Amino acid sequence: MQVVSDVEAFHFSEAHRSSSAVDRRGRKKIKQGTPTMIGLRRREFLAGTALLLFSATTVKAATIAGRLPWAPNAGNPPPPIKLGPWEFFNGEEGRAMEALVDCIIPPDPETPGGKDAGCAVFIDRQLAGPYGRQEGLYVRPPFQAGLKNQGHQSANGPAQDYRDGLAAFDRACKQHSGGKPFAELSGDDRIALLKAVEKGELKLDGVDGKAFFTQLVKDAQMGFFADPIYGGNRDMVAWKMIGYPGARYNYLDWVNRHNERFPLPPVGMTGKAQWTRS
């Protein structure tokens, strides 16, 4: 179909009027009730435009039966963490981190500790990603020391804070343990060293030891309870330990059933009831 514009239709109607009847004053006349060519052309133009739009648009429909009408995280899914070499830590830092998170979240007969739950991997991937690079934050000077309730006020981001903190902690550890790194100490010696840092009795060179230890504890806890897609909470061990059912669609059948253990296994953001090594 050839589509004409309103301007073309107007000129066409003017030419049509030249052959129309002439009234007694010598002016061209169009009979009442007779549709004008501009009206016809306008309708054809609109109809042609609608036809073009509908023909250019492919409409797809899906039949939904026996499943939910949505896919988990279909709009903006977080990239799943892949196991493998450290992405931020070097080998010595990685070994120290695994020993540290195992002290913060020790294993027991029923639940793995921080190392086997993937807490060190969680922190490593976070520091290697947007969080460690401070994406979305204002990172230009001047930087002034602020109060704790004012948040992060340093030019260093989380990645640099961890690098400096681990280096200072390693130096302090070797000075107080005959040159041994933290990962080679006994369990009791590790706990004693961390308690000294937590209380401020053991100073870290150039680093606020108490603040570093507090941040380390928070990040280890986050990795332990976060969705497994981020690298920690492997096999959903933390969720199983506390009875958390995970990211299920709804709990309408259990809203009024208090103090009862949910009988189904937890489900992650990927919609699966298992943690997979991808």
Give per-residue pLDDT as tens, 19-34: 444 454 555 554 555 5
| pLDDT reported for residue 14 | 47
Confidence of residue 70 (pLDDT cuts 50, 70, 90): low
Which percentage of the chain shows pLDDT scores above 90? 46
Q: Higher-confidence residue: 232 or 253?
A: 232
Residue 64 has pLDDT above 70, yes or no: no
What does the pLDDT average to over 162-170? 96
For the chain, the three-class secondary structure string (H helix, E strand, C coil) is CCCCCHHHHHHHHHHHHCCCEECCCCCEECCCCCCCHHHHHHHHHHHHHHHHHHHHCCCCCCCCCCCCCCCCCCCCCCCCCCCCCCCCCCHHHHHHHHHHHHHHCCCCCCCCCCCCCCHHHHHHHHHHCCCCCCCCCCCCCCCCCCCHHHCCCCCCCHHHHHHHHHHHHHHHHHHHCCCCCHHHCCHHHHHHHHHHHHHCCCCECCECHHHHHHHHHHHHHHHHHCCHHHCCCHHHHHHHHHCCCECCCCCHHHCCCCCCCCCCCCECCCCCCCCCCC
Range of 31-35, 69-73, 136-140, 265-269 with top mean pLDDT: 265-269
Residue 36 has pLDDT above 60, yes or no: no
Which percentage of the chain shows pLDDT scores above 70? 69
| pLDDT reported for residue 27 | 52
What does the pLDDT average to over 48-67? 57
Residue 184 has pLDDT above 90, yes or no: yes
